[in-house]
A and B are shown apart, each in its own frame.
Chain A
Amino acid sequence: MDYLSKKYLRPRKIPSTACSGCGLGMNHKAVVQAIYELGLEVEDIVWGTSIGCAGRQTFGTWKGDGFAGTHGRVYAIARGLRLTLPPEKKIILTVGDGDAFGIGLLHLIHSARSNADLTIIVNDNLGYMSTGGQYGWTTPHGSKTDSSPYGMYEHNLMSDGMDVLGVLKHAGATFLARHVAMDGQRAVESIKKGIRNRGLSLIHMVYPCPTNFGSRELGTRDTIKMYDYIKSQSAPMGEEKENTLWATGIYHDTSDSRPEFSENIHKNIEKIRRAAAV
């Protein structure tokens, strides 16, 4: 256990119950590193989680306050929380791809529309891995999964020129970035910017699942092969190659450019109250 996990995480939750070779811990570490580098303390943050691998493995790990939402609802819960929490307190959500881009997408879009001050880390293991490895909304085309043994052929949010970050950009999100678990400090810098932005920030972070994704798509649970699968198909934005699925870096940054959700509501209600008083 390193220094940061002692400082910020509950010792009894480390190590997590994740499968051997799971890359979620790398993403989790990047978030905690970003929190540390911003000088934030345990009491500055409320941590929310969802369901599935990402939700389960990060649930209750934060030493401070946390809450678990049902599948896809954590964004709606967090908006309610944002309205009542002092503005200087941060809300960080660690969720999965099925949660954010599937069952919870409507709530996520409305969180972006209203520019709620949330930092959402979408830990993407390329499908529904905790239920055995069904394909999801970011599963690369042609991937063999438990529910697509002959290759995933459905349109999804990362195929045919689609990009889920584009959806969120047009929905009003003010900070969007994409990384893979191996990005290290580059990912930490993006998360820091996300946390600093007073508005909706989302960092999409692809991570390796050797147990279910790897065993079906690559025919092996070899961790190195699964890591290589992700690393070799990612590249920094501007340096994309033909096989690049995940262009990493900051996708969209208009930090602090629009009034934040709760601030906007509080300000306007105050204005209406003043007008009514006159």
Chain B
Amino acid sequence: MARVVAVTGNEAVAEAMRQVNPDVCAAYPITPATDIMQRFTGFVSNGKVKTEMVLVESEHSAMSACVGASAAGGRVATATSSQGLALMWEELFIASGTRLPIIMTLVNRALSAPLNIHGDHSDGMGARDCGWIQLWSENAQEAYDNMIQSFRIAEHMDIRMPAMVCLDGFIISHSIERMEYLDDAVVKNFIGEFKQLNPLLDIEHPVSYGPLILTDLYMEYRRAHAEVMSKVSQVVLDVAQDFEKISGRKYGLFETYRLDDAEIGLVILNSAAGTSKDAVDVFRDKGIKAGLLKPRLYRPFPYEEIGEALKHLKAVCVLDRADAFGASYGPLFMDIASGIYPYKDRPLLINKIYGLGGRDYMPEHAELVLAELAEVAKTGRVKTFKEYIGVRE
């Protein structure tokens, strides 16, 4: 029987990790992710897990230790935020390039400078193209569910890629909400035994990880990586189907909310999607056909499926909690735009940058955006394609 609990997002993730019982975890404290590994350390100390836990001297070392442990054939997990992820940058590519199914929770937080510890998506967006799978989560329940599913996805024999599970710093990581835990035995059975693939120290079958490969074969490795990424969507859907059987909760590549007959729509990641759904309801009550799409699998980005889901709308606003400085639009916008580009009749797209450094995103913000979209849909004209909202100009 599932247990109904009231916990924070971090607590939920730590509980998922306890139930998974990884072989090795490496950690270095960073706000707001510290709490996850902190709680997990308690499980280690209390003998609730058999994990080998190592506190290292930096996040670069944390990911390096994960790479080593994973290459040796262990099931490996860690967690970080912001600057921690930035410092891991070099090793992120080593993990994905050597096909190591490491699981990392990323508690999204703004990047320095100036220093800010609150939630935005700059960190995850900065690492979006490093070859990792990224699953984004609206609330503690989704973070927990994504954590459990991520092991199955990353460790799938056709995939063997590292995966990040993202949740909003403080807004979700430190807020208590009602959610459901699965039974330990159910989780254990769901994720199954860890299967090694080309582990080090198997002296009958010696392997090399990450050697020098120059112009002769490097490009083929990258091509193979791209090939693997193209298979992830189907695995995510298969795992979600199995997960529904044990939890009753349905997951896809993305979530749609009142979108099927919508004329205007919002595309938004993580916790702010919850706020936006309320605004969608307000507009529906007024007789305006509003809807919402919340990406879940952000890398690899299911652009074909998302394009298909949005193509019938008249106007769409993509809300980004990070900017891509010097690029035309925010990172999520650019992905959405590429998804709907192939369609001759496609919605008009606008982009809003919101909530940087933890700035509050309120229902009124979503309502203002929806009002603007209704106008765009009616007139067919866009006044401003990209704009910061909730900012002092």
Contacts and interface: CB of A to CB of B under 8 A. Distances in A.
A105 B38 contact: no
A137 interface: yes
B31 interface: yes
A72 B58 contact: yes
A40 interface: no
A3 interface: no
B112 interface: yes
B115 A132 contact: no
27 contacts: A51-B115, A59-B115, A68-B114, A68-B115, A70-B86, A70-B112, A71-B30, A71-B83, A71-B87, A102-B57, A103-B59, A128-B34, A130-B31, A131-B29, A131-B30, A131-B31, A131-B34, A132-B34, A132-B35, A134-B29, A134-B38, A134-B55, A146-B38, A147-B41, A147-B55, A149-B42, A149-B45
A154 interface: yes
B213 interface: no
Max count, chain A CB within 10 A of own CB: residue among B42, B87, B115 = B115
Contacts of B115: 51, 59, 68
A103 B38 contact: no
Contact of A132 (B29, B45, B57, B87): B29
B217 interface: no
Nearest to A148: B45
Nearest to A51: B115
A135 interface: yes
Interface string B276-316: 00000000000000000000000000000000000000000
B57 A137 contact: yes
B58 A147 contact: no
Contacts of A71: 30, 58, 83, 87
Given A51-B115, A70-B112, A134 B34 contact: yes
A68 B113 contact: yes
Contacts of A135: 55
B151 interface: no
B58 A103 contact: yes
B28 A103 contact: yes
Nearest to B58: A103
Contact of A147 (B38, B87, B113, B114): B38
Interface bin, chain A: 20 to 34
A245 to B, nearest CB: 21
A149 B41 CA distance: 9
Interface in A76-129: 98, 102-103, 105, 128
Max count, chain A CB within 10 A of own CB: residue among B31, B41, B55 = B55
Given A68-B115, A70-B112, A103-B28, A132 B42 contact: no
B55 A154 contact: yes
A137 B35 CA distance: 20
B45 A150 contact: yes
B31 A103 contact: no
Contacts of B30: 71, 131
A132 B174 CA distance: 13
A274 B34 CA distance: 54
A250 to B, nearest CB: 27
Contacts of A72: 58
Interface in A151-165: 154
Considering the complex of A and B, which 5 residue pairs feature the smallest CB-CB distances, nearest first?
A: A131-B29, A103-B58, A131-B34, A102-B57, A128-B29
Interface in B112-133: 112-115
Interface string A152-186: 00100000000000000000000000000000000
B51 to A, nearest CB: 14
A149 B44 CA distance: 11
A72 B31 CA distance: 15
Interface string B24-51: 0000111100110010011001000000
Contacts of A150: 45
A105 B35 CA distance: 24
B186 to A, nearest CB: 29
Contacts of A98: 29
Nearest to B41: A147
Interface in A45-84: 51, 59, 68, 70-72
B83 to A, nearest CB: 5
Contacts of A146: 38, 41
A46 to B, nearest CB: 16
A266 B59 CA distance: 35
Contacts of B58: 71-72, 102-103
Nearest to A105: B57
B61 to A, nearest CB: 9
Contacts of B28: 103
A70 B110 CA distance: 13
Given A105-B57, A135-B55, A147-B55, A70 B31 contact: no
